[in-house]
Structure 1
Amino acid sequence: MRRLLDQGWTVRATAGPVAPALEGVVVPATVPGCVHTDLLAAGLVPDPYLDENEALLTWIGDVDWRYETTFTWSADDAAAAHDVVELVAAGLDTLATVELDGRVVARTANMHRSYRIAVTDDLTVGEHSLAVTFAAPAPAAERASQELGPRPGAYRAPFNAIRKMACSYGWDWGPSLTTSGIWRPIALEAWSTARVASVRPLVDVRTSAEGTTGLLHAHVDVERAPGSSGPLTVTAEVAGRAAEVVLAAGDSSATVELEVDDVALWWPVGHGDQPLYPVAVTLADASTTIDAWSGDVGFRTVVLDTTSDAEGTPFRLVVNGVPVFARGLNWIPDDCFPTRVTAERYATRLTEAVDVGANLVRVWGGGLYESDDFYDACDRLGLMVWQDFLFACAAYAEEEPLRSEVEAEAREAVTRLTPHPSLVLWNGNNENIWGHADWGWAEQLEGRTWGWGYYTELLPSIVAELDGTRPYCPGSPYGMDPAVYPNDPAHGPTHLWDVWNGVDYTHYRDSVPRFVAEFGWQAPPTWATLTRALHDEPLASDSPGMQAHQKAVGGDLKLSRGLEPHLPEPRTFDDWHWAMSLNQARAVSLGVEHLRSWTPTCSGAIWWQLNDCWPVTSWAVVDGDGRRKPSWYALRNAFADRLVTVQPRDAGLAVVLVNDSAVGWSGSARVRRLGFDGTALADVELAYDVAPRSAVTLPVPADVATAGDRAAEVLLAEVDGRRGWWWFAEDRDAALPGQDLSARAWAVDDGYEVTVTARSLVKDLALLADRAAPDARVDAMLLTLLPGESATITVRSAAGVAPEAFLEPLVLRSANQLVYR
């Protein structure tokens, strides 16, 4: 029997600096939910995502909150005579005291784990009260930090002292909204004799001349009721096969092994299909089935290749024996209040990753172990998941009580996530080994623990014990050897933040890393998102609301510094918004194309980041309202299965053809040096033959690759309708003409079509359709047209605006408009 306790809840403040309007106020509460969403629903606080409202809500994290409800234990419930009744809390955020009928039955201290609380002897027929009181999370972290001994971190708040979503204390892309609440379901569960405590369905694949066989090892842990010790039968079924194991009296675990002949393998998207096989596990005593578990598995193998070679230490994912170039995106929590992220929202956001050409998402260590809805979507979509354990940008104490919490949450996370074929890598932490080596932490710690034991001993031992089918890496970045500098691009995964923080994005070309797990460039959200969230008059890059939604230290200065080598200083805010959006898109293109051009030496590029948790200037390619920035389209071009890119090589230029498909690619590449008026100045045909999952480099002859007038010439490589461009001069120094084009727009089913014809060279044409209709989305962006060329852009929108709205100068944009003459 399982009864959700999701009705009749209230919440009220019990201690701390409560806003005067809320003193003594009892608020209806939604469970699962959190304090912020409850106060919002009651109309008692403003939306923290709008304007400067975040600052008005900081007091919430300094207050203790008490959730209360009642429920009835009926005569029928009592008559069922269950051996065990438990209060099961799937998620309490974070420092909670649980009371049943006024008696404390549990105290918890970890947002990232669940709890089973025995209440068998506490339930009598009639009404019962249930209360959960949460200690204020901001001062709680400060107290815990002092008790453990302060540890350094990248931010002021000691988020590393308690086991709570680290980014809720604020990050360089997120607000400080430290909340409390029952954030995952809470229920009463009653059972007798025994129950299935956990199932770890681990898979392997055996290939022979007879075919491919899938091997399933279903590890089943059983919890017995007090006094129950008789034999039990565990049965597992998959693909029409079934096997059983008898648990002898007193035994509590079993492994059921099954083989599936002619199994269809699960592949990352772009490498094959994603077949999933339902698995059913039942637990029976001598007379009947007493519990069951079900889930899906995908048969595949995954290995991390770190075998040293002439260039250093690779970091290459190998799935089903095939090396996979990781075209990835980092994932942060999609909302500051996780209960607002539904299965549908996960599917929508992760589909954006697949549509942009990604095959991997990295779940970053300052967030959450996401809900099963996230991993289910990745299983279906073929998105590989790199899963961080939840440690980020700080030193962590290895002493009690933190150590036991870390072990408990890690064991639960590994057990819960093992069924998912999309999960291909466990990673110990984000940037903590690097921080200890390079950010002065060692001196501050003065010999105190900082997490190394977690990353090199505890976590890998848990993975080996409970999983064993997936690789583990101690951290990112990491040189794959304690003696190697952790962010050495020649060894293991690298983070390239020196570019954003200090130099122009063209410096991505300064090294050839083996794998890049983080790199990024900022831009504001789309216009419709920005103007929905901010109401500054006038709206400007330095207006109060814009500043409140720029969380990176020196972020605006870095944006301006990064724009200066490429484009003139914008004259208006409209131009600033477009210029920064375009500059991010160009940084994405340059960085990703550079890394992919060096395959297989480089075997992964994971952009920071896919998504935002609120409307903010950030590195995301999909903004906080779910709108695609121009950088999304740039990334789609750079992540294409077949990529044509022009790269500097030796003292000249080369066309690099990247073929990340299963089919060979051969033919002739046409490479032309053109004047901006479209005149061909030099021309060459280069034969190519690119094997599957590889790249070739085609040097461009010097007479074609050398400009006569750098300000007025461009190199264009064309292969099978794909284009790669090399601009000899930056826009600010080039003779780009003013935007000169003809355009017409007309309504079609589900939206509009816009056809543009260039009268002169038009660079990076973008239809910023959300400026005309907030729901509008285009199918293409950042098109460069030679004189006389045309392109048609499809707009999906139900707004019903006049077609001419999409032809306005602030909607139909190009780089040409930003070069003032």
Structure 2
Amino acid sequence: MLRVAGGHDDVPPEIWPALRAGVPASVPGCVHTDLLAAALIADPYLDQNEHELKWIGRCDWKYSTTFGTPEREADRVDLVCGGLDTFATVEVNGTLVGTTRNMHRSYRIPVQDVLAGDANELVVTFASAVLRSRELRDTVGDLPRPVEILPEPYQFARKMACNFGWDWGPELVTAGIWKLIQVHAWSVARFDKVRPIISVAGTTGMVRVEVELERAGAPHDVELTASVGGSQQTITIPGAETTGEIELEVDHADLWWPHGMGAQARYELTLTLETETGLLDTWARQIGFRTIELDTAADDGGSAFTLIVNDRPIFGRGANWIPDDCFPTRVSSDRYRRRLEQARDANVNLLRVWGGGLYETDDFYEACDELGILVWQDFPFACAAYPEELLADEVEAEARENIVRLMPHPSLALWNGNNENIWGWHDWGWQEQLEDRPWGLGLYVDLLPALLAEIDPTRPYWPGSPYSGSMDVAPNADEHGCTHLWDVWNERDYTAYRDHVPRFVAEFGYQAPPTWTTLTRAVHDNPLTPDSAGILSHQKADDGHAKLTRGLATHFRAPVTTEDWHFATQLNQARAITLGVEHFRSHRGQCMGAIVWQLNDCWPAISWSAIDSAGRQKPMWYALRRAYADRMLTIQPDQDGLAAVAVNDGDASWHGTLRVERRSFAGDLLADWKSQLSVRRDSTSTFRLPPNLTTPGEPARELLVADVGGMRTTWFFCPDKDLDYPAPSYDIDFRRDGDDALMRVCARTLLRDVAIFVDRLDAHASVDDMLVTLLPGEERTIRIHNGARLPAERLRQTPVFRCANDLNSGT
């Protein structure tokens, strides 16, 4: 049962009696989800409801239930709290048994001395994280953070920072029992920590298993058995000891690889703990044999930042991951799997779990293991100076727990100390505000790397993102470390990505609204316009709409309708990300990674995401899939001309004939050129194009088309707004294929960036391709998943059928 335990004056009077009496509570869950289930609050994701619900985060809340005493005799009975969000007191039968102040860790509390038969009362009371954070701030003084968008002192709580709002998320400050809470009775000994330290020597996979036990009752010798891949060992741990170690070897072990580079081989590692009287405890995880290194060596270009997997340097084709819902318990294992499959299908091989969110659930990392997606894991610190003196003990406890929890996962590739805090110290005016106060650096350069060296020395660590590798060098220096490129979105046109050749860009992005269905299910403004109140409520970026407008103005004519604005901004986002990714990849070797901001959304926002909060893929997703393909062909500026660049991240060499043509929009061949292409694995080849190709007669009516064996890319000589596009003309053939439909588009004119927005007709329908460019006489068949019953005539019409051409005519 959930009750309000102390409140704010803004609690709506009509629901106060219900909150005092109590409403059913779900565990795992949080206050918001329970109040939603009880129909006491409106959905905070809809319209402007978020702003009316801030009172929830300013109240204290009490969860209560009853439970029985375990039937079997036991030396210990523990209350095991998987996750309490955040400032909690725990009482059993009226006795205080524990207090917590950290969302990111678990708690095990002995309760055998306070149990009372079959009717034990458990009460967990949560203090307001908003008010408690303010109190902690007042004890030591405020510290820098982006106050203009995040006024609450979130950095004083070890809690998911983006609960307090972000430039893509609402302020919904949660409280609750967000992971399982259980009663565990046990005797003699149990596994406290299991640390599998995994390595590879030649063809042999090796596991050193370090075990820490917790004991209770009289001391007993125990037998520890470990097995993996047909190898098994047993040791005896004497009754006075609490640690043990076993080494195992697997001959001819199959390696775990990121997808596209090999199989994701995994082996089950199992442990048992026994005495002569029987089994005490078990532990089992799927592990993978692979090596991981981070090369940061100095070179002629500065210093590298390259991930090396199984001795093979990889280009990180990445995306940033944020919590997939403001209320994390709503993210099921199936939802994690779907989202991560979408990442893999977009050719993403690296996800960065961003530092304003969470250490994700086991479901997330297990899916990454299975799908072959590397994980860059931030420790949860973001965009603020942190009070080391208040948090050091809690940070150490949470880090120890999560390092141990995540170390079996082969997908976990890199630990990172924080998000943008070192940047803040260098460039956001913090030094003057802080004077000589600690601000978190000791956590990032001393505590966290020391813990990893002690617990899991097999994985690389980097103190922050962005970070150059030295506090004496600007954190966003292109020549060193990892950078964040936000000058483009905030200040410049996206063509300015070409001004940077970073060693590794860990954040860059461009905004667009969610899909039309997601947007209109969340916002019910009438009329719905780009600047209507509900739309603006879902735009959290500082001056975000003005930046969208500025970005459009460089490339497109001003949108005439809301539908045009929606399509134009989505298309501009896709173009920006394509340009950035293709530029960075064309410099493979100097640049070895690009992590786009961001893969996913936590609510229906106008944001930088490729996939909206309903799981629908924006045009950017299709663009990202194409730009992140193992083999990529692109045309890039080269000195005073143009070059074709072929990038090969595949497993084999790439051979073929490169053909480049200059054509008129009417399809006439004006010039052509060809060359034999041969690109080794993990390399690029650049072909400087001759002037007869790169010098158009009529720039507004011509384009370049480059092709290798059916892989094609284009180059237009002017921004869309200056192009003399023909009015789009096409034929469409539609036929059913089971539950799907096949839609054949035959171009009578040039059609640039064809997009079929089938969600406007059926929320469950989707397409297998988007942003297809067709020359006159060409055709493309697009599969519409769950599209068999769609009205064929509607598919031919705007705003379902769109292409860049019609933005110039205002249709």
Structure-1-length-normalised TM-score: 0.97
* 2:145 is aligned with 1:153: yes
Deviation at residue 276 of structure 1 after TM alignment: 1.0
* 2:459 is aligned with 1:466: no
Deviation at residue 283 of structure 1 after TM alignment: 1.2
Is the deviation greater in 246-255 or in 690-699? Answer: 246-255
Where does residue 552 of structure 1 map in the other structure?
A: 541
Aligned-partner Cα distance in 2 for 1:161–1:41:
30
Where does residue 597 of structure 1 map in the other structure?
A: 586
* 2:629 is aligned with 1:640: yes
Where does residue 198 of structure 2 map in the other structure?
A: 203
Aligned-partner Cα distance in 1 for 2:466–2:713:
31
* 2:214 is aligned with 1:223: yes
Where does residue 10 of structure 1 map in the other structure?
A: 2
Matched ranges for 1:620-699 at <5 A: 620-699=609-688
Deviation at residue 13 of structure 1 after TM alignment: 4.1
Where does residue 374 of structure 1 map in the other structure?
A: 364
Deviation at residue 249 of structure 1 after TM alignment: 3.3
Deviation at residue 322 of structure 1 after TM alignment: 0.5
The one-letter amino acid paired with 1:781 is M
Where does residue 306 of structure 1 map in the other structure?
A: 296
Is the Cα contact below 8 Å between 1:148 and 1:161 reproduced in 2? no
Where does residue 752 of structure 1 map in the other structure?
A: 741
* 2:534 is aligned with 1:539: no
Is the Cα contact below 8 Å between 2:385 and 2:421 reproduced in 1? yes
2:16 to 23, 32, 38: 23
Aligned-partner Cα distance in 2 for 1:394–1:812:
45
2:238 to 243, 248, 257: 248
CA distances 1:166-216 after superposition (whole Å, capped 9, x unpaired): 000000000000011000000000110111011111210000xxxx00000
Aligned-partner Cα distance in 1 for 2:787–2:773:
28
Deviation at residue 15 of structure 1 after TM alignment: 2.9
Is the Cα contact below 8 Å between 2:655 and 2:677 reproduced in 1? yes
Is the Cα contact below 8 Å between 1:234 and 1:245 reproduced in 2? yes
Is the Cα contact below 8 Å between 2:79 and 2:181 reproduced in 1? yes
The one-letter amino acid paired with 1:321 is D
SS of the equivalent of 1:793 reads strand
Matched ranges for 1:541-580 at <5 A: 541-580=530-569
The one-letter amino acid paired with 2:15 is L
Where does residue 806 of structure 2 map in the other structure?
A: 817
Is the Cα contact below 8 Å between 2:726 and 2:805 reproduced in 1? yes
SS of the equivalent of 1:21 reads coil
Matched ranges for 1:40-79 at <5 A: 40-73=36-69, 77=70
Deviation at residue 231 of structure 1 after TM alignment: 2.4
Where does residue 30 of structure 2 map in the other structure?
A: 34
Is the Cα contact below 8 Å between 1:12 and 1:27 reproduced in 2? no
Aligned-partner Cα distance in 1 for 2:637–2:759:
36
Is the Cα contact below 8 Å between 1:112 and 1:163 reproduced in 2? yes
Deviation at residue 253 of structure 1 after TM alignment: 1.2
SS of the equivalent of 2:389 reads coil
Aligned-partner Cα distance in 2 for 1:114–1:370:
13
2:89 to 84, 97, 102: 97
SS of the equivalent of 1:28 reads coil
* 2:311 is aligned with 1:321: yes
Deviation at residue 308 of structure 1 after TM alignment: 0.8
Where does residue 226 of structure 2 map in the other structure?
A: 236
Aligned-partner Cα distance in 2 for 1:671–1:705:
10
Matched ranges for 1:67-146 at <5 A: 67-73=63-69, 77=70, 80-146=72-138
Where does residue 169 of structure 2 map in the other structure?
A: 174
Aligned-partner Cα distance in 2 for 1:228–1:605:
56
Is the Cα contact below 8 Å between 1:478 and 1:492 reproduced in 2? yes
The one-letter amino acid paired with 1:725 is T
Gaps of 5+ in 2: none
Aligned-partner Cα distance in 2 for 1:799–1:114:
49
Is the deviation greater in 331-340 or in 135-144? Answer: 135-144
Aligned-partner Cα distance in 1 for 2:204–2:264:
16
Deviation at residue 511 of structure 1 after TM alignment: 1.4
SS of the equivalent of 1:805 reads helix
Aligned-partner Cα distance in 1 for 2:718–2:194:
60
The size of the alignment, in residue pairs, is 803
Deviation at residue 798 of structure 1 after TM alignment: 5.8
Aligned-partner Cα distance in 2 for 1:568–1:193:
74
SS of the equivalent of 1:819 reads helix
Aligned-partner Cα distance in 2 for 1:506–1:738:
27
Is the Cα contact below 8 Å between 1:326 and 1:360 reproduced in 2? yes
Where does residue 743 of structure 1 map in the other structure?
A: 732
The one-letter amino acid paired with 2:575 is R
Is the Cα contact below 8 Å between 1:434 and 1:478 reproduced in 2? yes
Deviation at residue 233 of structure 1 after TM alignment: 2.0
Aligned-partner Cα distance in 1 for 2:79–2:719:
64
Is the Cα contact below 8 Å between 1:168 and 1:176 reproduced in 2? yes
Aligned-partner Cα distance in 2 for 1:140–1:776:
46
Aligned-partner Cα distance in 1 for 2:638–2:568:
29
SS of the equivalent of 1:220 reads strand
Is the deviation greater in 140-149 or in 624-633? Answer: 140-149
SS of the equivalent of 2:298 reads coil
1:270 to 247, 250, 260: 260
The one-letter amino acid paired with 2:288 is G
Aligned-partner Cα distance in 1 for 2:787–2:101:
47
Is the Cα contact below 8 Å between 2:5 and 2:125 reproduced in 1? no
Deviation at residue 289 of structure 1 after TM alignment: 2.2
Where does residue 480 of structure 2 map in the other structure?
A: 491
Is the Cα contact below 8 Å between 1:621 and 1:631 reproduced in 2? yes
Structure 1 681/798 Cα, relative in aligned 2: closer, same or farther at 3 Å? closer
CA distances 1:499-523 after superposition (whole Å, capped 9, x unpaired): 0000000000001111010000000
Deviation at residue 148 of structure 1 after TM alignment: 2.8
Deviation at residue 740 of structure 1 after TM alignment: 1.5
SS of the equivalent of 2:334 reads helix
Aligned-partner Cα distance in 1 for 2:295–2:791:
55
SS of the equivalent of 2:68 reads strand
Where does residue 287 of structure 2 map in the other structure?
A: 297
Deviation at residue 239 of structure 1 after TM alignment: 1.0
Aligned-partner Cα distance in 1 for 2:788–2:244:
58
Is the Cα contact below 8 Å between 1:596 and 1:602 reproduced in 2? yes
SS of the equivalent of 1:349 reads helix
Is the Cα contact below 8 Å between 1:745 and 1:804 reproduced in 2? no
RMSD: 1.1
Structure-2-length-normalised TM-score: 0.98
Deviation at residue 10 of structure 1 after TM alignment: 3.3
Deviation at residue 124 of structure 1 after TM alignment: 2.8
Where does residue 185 of structure 1 map in the other structure?
A: 180
1:214 to 194, 205, 217: 205
CA distances 1:447-492 after superposition (whole Å, capped 9, x unpaired): 1111000000000001111100000000000001222111101101
Deviation at residue 706 of structure 1 after TM alignment: 1.4
Is the deviation greater in 608-617 or in 793-802? Answer: 793-802
The one-letter amino acid paired with 2:381 is F
SS of the equivalent of 1:333 reads coil
Where does residue 420 of structure 1 map in the other structure?
A: 409
Deviation at residue 149 of structure 1 after TM alignment: 2.0
Structure 1 59/283 Cα, relative in aligned 2: closer, same or farther at 3 Å? same
SS of the equivalent of 1:295 reads strand
Aligned-partner Cα distance in 2 for 1:616–1:608:
14
Is the deviation greater in 22-31 or in 530-539? Answer: 22-31
SS of the equivalent of 2:297 reads coil
Deviation at residue 547 of structure 1 after TM alignment: 0.5
Aligned-partner Cα distance in 2 for 1:798–1:809:
17
2:278 to 274, 288, 295: 288
